[in-house]
Amino acid sequence: MQTATRIAFIGLGQMGLPMATNLVKAGYEVAGFDLSPEALQKFVNEGGQAAKSAADAMAGSDVIITMLSNGKVVRNVLVEGKAYLRAPNGALILEMSSSAPEETRSLAEAVSGHLRVVDAPVSGGVKRAVDGTLAVMAGGADADFLAARPVLEAMSAKIFHCGPVGAGHAMKAINNYVSGAGVIAAVEAVLLGNAFGLDEAKVVEVLNASSGKNNATEVKMNQFILSGTFGSGFALGLMAKDIRTAANLSVSLGLSQQGLTQTADLWDDAARTLGGAVDHTRFYDYLKRQVG
């Protein structure tokens, strides 16, 4: 049982709440903050502490975890009014939001001299957040990553140190590009098979027994798309944002990657068409409209 470290957890949404709860279960003292009173109350019901503000949560905390919508929001919360100075000198920020790598590097520069930064975005969705079996992609100095690892282990099953600060967020964007491209391929395959007269469930069954298997065919098509539940817990807008982050990173590095660009364009158009708040598995509806 771990009891020595006090953690500030900022962002108690669909992913953040179960992650923070797992830290409480692991024996950590966790002060949580969210703009939603309902989310704060749920966290208190799970044994956590409710802070009055992000700055109050950071005060006296050895580790600060951010699980927010993007890097700009993270910077506003931590740096605006120099709120990060409420944390003890040398405290560790685990930036677990889906942010752009350049935003993370900028954050690290802004708080340098007072705080250490490790970017540690996750993959696995709400179910694995609840189970504590997320995959973590981390970026940061070796010593900072080692210091973060016990905290990360309370929320995840697989932890990868990908390189210096920003590397974790770069890897997350790359991962979600591959994931989003897989959704496009799986949905188009099902729609193509259906147009020919094949049973949609049969198409997925064969793909999963063959070389066409991917994450979308395994854990999304039957469970959330063909079932009509569309409840994976990951918003379409967030998927579009992550893929666009990967596309922007590619451009900034002077690369020409047409597949990535086209994938980002499709997801952006789907978010505009359906709204970014819908579940990302609703991408099926978007592509179904395109084929007529």
1 inside domain = no
Instruction: Please tell me whether residues 11 and 69 are part of one structural domain.
Output: yes
Nearest residue to 169 via CA among 86, 85, 80, 106: 106
83 inside domain = yes
Write down the pLDDT at residue 42. 97
Identify the domain boundary among 123, 143, 165. Answer: 165
Instruction: Please tell me whether residues 42 and 129 are part of one structural domain.
Output: yes
Q: Tell me: pLDDT of 1 over 90.
A: no
pLDDT in tens, 148-198: 999 999 999 999 999 999 999 999 999 999 999 999 999 999 999 999 999
Q: Give dist(CA 122, CA 12) in Å, integer.
A: 15
Q: Is-contact 226 200, C-beta < 8 A?
A: yes
223 inside domain = yes
Identify the domain boundary among 108, 136, 165. Answer: 165
Mean pLDDT of 60-65: 96
Instruction: Please tell me whether residues 183 and 155 are part of one structural domain.
Output: no
| 276, two tokens | 């970014």
- Using pLDDT thresholds of 50, 70 and 90, give the confidence band for residue 125: confident
Mean pLDDT of 87-115: 95
59 inside domain = yes
Q: Tell me: pLDDT of 106 over 80.
A: yes
25 belongs to the catalytic site: no
Q: Which helix (H) or strand (E) holds 29?
A: strand 29-33
Write down the pLDDT at residue 4. 53
Tell me the residue range of the domain where 240 lies.
Answer: 170-291
Which domain CATH number covers 283?
Answer: 1.10.1040.10
pLDDT in tens, 200-241: 999 999 999 999 999 999 999 999 999 999 999 899 999 999
Q: What percent of the chain lies above the pLDDT cut of 70?
A: 99
Work out whether strand 116-119 and strand 49-50 pair parallel, antiparallel, or are unpaired: unpaired
282 inside domain = yes
Identify the domain boundary among 165, 190, 211. Answer: 165
Q: What is the mean pLDDT of the chain?
A: 95
Q: Which helix (H) or strand (E) holds 49?
A: strand 49-50
Instruction: Please tell me whether residues 269 and 130 are part of one structural domain.
Output: no
Which domain CATH number covers 67?
Answer: 3.40.50.720
Q: Tell me: pLDDT of 2 over 50.
A: no
Helix, strand, coil content of the chain in percent (nearest 5) = 55, 15, 30
Instruction: Please tell me whether residues 110 and 238 are part of one structural domain.
Output: no
Instruction: Please tell me whether residues 149 and 256 are part of one structural domain.
Output: no
Instruction: Please tell me whether residues 119 and 231 are part of one structural domain.
Output: no
List CB contacts of 200: < 8 A, sequence separation 6 or more: 190, 193, 194, 226
**How many domains does the chain fold into?**
2
DSSP lists the bridge partners of residue 49 as 31
Instruction: Please tell me whether residues 219 and 158 are part of one structural domain.
Output: no
Write down the pLDDT at residue 233. 86
259 inside domain = yes
Instruction: Please tell me whether residues 220 and 198 are part of one structural domain.
Output: yes
Q: From the candidates 52, 72, 127, 172, give the one annotated as an active-site residue.
A: 172
Instruction: Please tell me whether residues 96 and 236 are part of one structural domain.
Output: no
C-alpha atoms less than 13 angstroms from C-alpha of 82 in its C-beta half-sphere: 4
Nearest residue to 241 via CA among 268, 260, 261, 273: 268
Instruction: Please tell me whether residues 159 and 30 are part of one structural domain.
Output: yes
Q: Which helix (H) or strand (E) holds 129?
A: helix 125-131
Write down the pLDDT at residue 81. 85
Considering only residues 126 and 41, tell me which one the structure prediction assigns the higher pLDDT.
Answer: 41
Instruction: Please tell me whether residues 22 and 119 are part of one structural domain.
Output: yes
Write down the pLDDT at residue 292. 72
